[in-house]
Structure 1
Amino acid sequence: MSVSLDAYTPAQVMEFVARAGVAKGNMRLDKVFFSAVSAGGLLGLACGTALSTNTSPWFQENAPGLIRTIGALVFPYGLCMIILTGADLCTGSFMYTTVAALQRQLPWYKMLLHWFVTFWGNLCGSLFLVAIIFGYGEVFSTDPYKSEVISYATKKQVTPEFQQIFLRGIGCNWLVCLACFFGIQGRDLTSKIIGIWWPIFGFVSLGFDHVVANMTFIPLAIWLGAEDITVGLYVWKGVIPTLLGNIVGGGVFAGTYYWYMYLLQGESMSLAALRRGQYTSETTTPTTAGGKDDVEATAGVVEKTA
């Protein structure tokens, strides 16, 4: 019995990434915004789970690496929900729309506009979760959870220098965009979830910085009264270096690199060929059951023919 890996090739995945970038870049701005609000809230839920998991005083004192690893194992469900529902995370957009723009299928100004709208939508969704669900819901209002939130945010904002956060931001979104890549590469739901899970586990276990995750971690600490963290400090060290690093990691290390490897100089098949099903075996054809705009979530979904 032979063993085969039922997945798209990297070149085929990059065609889907370009296609998703075109769809996202041309989406109505109100839909982009509310999609980004949803993504910010969904990732915030995963941030809350990670904080709850890390609230283990004995482990923090005696085995900090182990408890961070355990927290990293549960965090990826946030990006799974985002990708599989087709929501828009600005960090993923740094790859999708960059590839579409490099392919000359999306104007550069639309790429930048999509980045702008998704960033503010993600922030609104995250702050809604922080204030309404976590804040007034008093999810982290008592110790030891309150102390863990403040301690975690302090380690992310006060201790490291600006350039350190920037470099961690590069590593973070390099891995996040690989998770998006693997999420498209798998043909079935299980494969997509597994593909998404491990790169996200990697960035969290290494303590890298994600600009949208910081939209929950840091404002929540401010809400709970962290003395050493102000809004100004958050913008200076929680937004600017992380955002710049995430842009480089997603747009250059992931998007531009894989575009250069697989799409430059017409070395891969056209999108028309993909739609005709030339990328699949004779027994499969693509389907768009998720809707024409839900390219990211439906990429790789196939159905059997008679």
Structure 2
Amino acid sequence: MQTENTRTGALSPLEAAQSTFETALHHLNEPTQLAFFKNVFGALLLSFGGIFALIVSQGSPGLEETNPGLPKMLMGATFPVGLVLIYFVGAELFTGYPMWLAMLAFSRRGRPIQYLRALVIPWLGNLAGALLVSSVFSVATQTLTPEPYKSGIISLITSTVIHAKWHVILLKAIGCGYLVTLAMFVGSQNQDGISKALGLHLPFFISTAIEFPHTVEYMYLGSLAMMLGAEMSVWMFFWKCLLPVTLGNIIGGALFTGAYLWWVYLYCEDGERAKDWLLSDGQQDM
């Protein structure tokens, strides 16, 4: 369908929701090895964005005392560079899958085993990529081992994970799941490069600046802090860092973005046109 928004280079919300649904169908049937390596590559890019963000935000420790909001703003402004690159090269992150799977589940598409595979394989691929960057490109290269970066990273994880309560981490992660999937949706709405980059960047900027944890971000930051000497065991890394962040991101992405897009644009708004599309274009991709 042609709309004014389409002719000016942007999809309407309805068209973007339909495009997101088509992407979900694709990922549901994606070969396992392809899904794994696309998520390894996605984690590499996001983690390299993490290196950049840590260099910028932790390089002036005096700022934390005189202007504690500025390092958070610097972190928020730089970390999303990785997400923009991921979208431009066609890599993936685990945090997008809850949105896609929620839209499919409400439309009664796919089988439970497909849903399980679509969560586990990307998560493992992201973990592999994040560990590679933290161990090889952050520690072995000594990029982040000198001061003030070392103590700054340890302090960051100590405050956001080690000393934080489990349920607080979970609640913050729900907010991140919502914001990062919103970034993906807004990015898919815009067709030109600059608008797409801004759409991807701004919601993730908010999430990172207010320290709402992202699964892949904390796969990288948590493992890096452990290697630098943070008082966090492997058990704590999985139980108190990755588990609440992963669950929170799933809840936020599935309910706050996936369910919303399905309900508003594929079920309620312009109902007959959306239902016709679900039975025609959407069905052809199965």
What's the TM-score once normalised by structure 2's chain length? 0.90
- The AA in structure 2 aligned to 1:193 is A
User: Which of residues 170, 177, 185 in structure 1 aligns to 2:181?
Assistant: 177
User: Which range moves more in the overlay, 103-112 or 205-214?
Assistant: 103-112
Cα drift, residue 195 of structure 1: 0.6
- The AA in structure 2 aligned to 1:95 is M
Cα drift, residue 67 of structure 1: 1.9
Whether the 8 Å contact between 1:18 and 1:97 is mirrored in structure 2 is no
Percent identity over the alignment?
32
Q: What corresponds to 1:158 in structure 2?
A: 162
Q: What corresponds to 1:121 in structure 2?
A: 125
Cα drift, residue 14 of structure 1: 0.9
Q: 1:117 to 1:203 in 2, by over 3 A?
A: same
- The AA in structure 2 aligned to 1:270 is W
CA distance in 2, matches of 1:83, 1:187: 12
Q: What corresponds to 1:95 in structure 2?
A: 99
Cα drift, residue 108 of structure 1: 3.5
Cα drift, residue 102 of structure 1: 2.4
CA distance in 1, matches of 2:68, 2:54: 13
Cα drift, residue 124 of structure 1: 0.3
Q: What corresponds to 1:27 in structure 2?
A: 30
Q: Does 1:270 align with 2:277?
A: yes
- The AA in structure 2 aligned to 1:23 is H
Q: Deviations over 1:89-116 (max 9, x none)?
A: 1101111232133223433431221111
Q: What corresponds to 1:45 in structure 2?
A: 48
**Secondary structure of the equivalent of 1:270?**
helix
* Number of residue equivalences: 273
Q: What corresponds to 1:229 in structure 2?
A: 232
Q: Deviations over 1:95-154 (max 9, x none)?
A: 123213322343343122111100000000000111111121111111111111111111
Q: What corresponds to 1:303 in structure 2?
A: none
5+ residue gaps, structure 1, are 276-291, 293-306
**Secondary structure of the equivalent of 2:213?**
coil
5+ residue gaps, structure 2, are none
1:203-222 equivalences under 5 Å are 203-222=207-226
Higher relative helix content? 2
- The AA in structure 2 aligned to 1:109 is I
CA distance in 2, matches of 1:53, 1:271: 46
Whether the 8 Å contact between 1:157 and 1:229 is mirrored in structure 2 is no
Q: Deviations over 1:238-271 (max 9, x none)?
A: 1111111101000111101211111126542516
Whether the 8 Å contact between 1:93 and 1:114 is mirrored in structure 2 is yes
- The AA in structure 2 aligned to 1:156 is T
Cα RMSD (Å) = 1.9
Q: What corresponds to 1:84 in structure 2?
A: 88
What's the TM-score once normalised by structure 1's chain length? 0.84
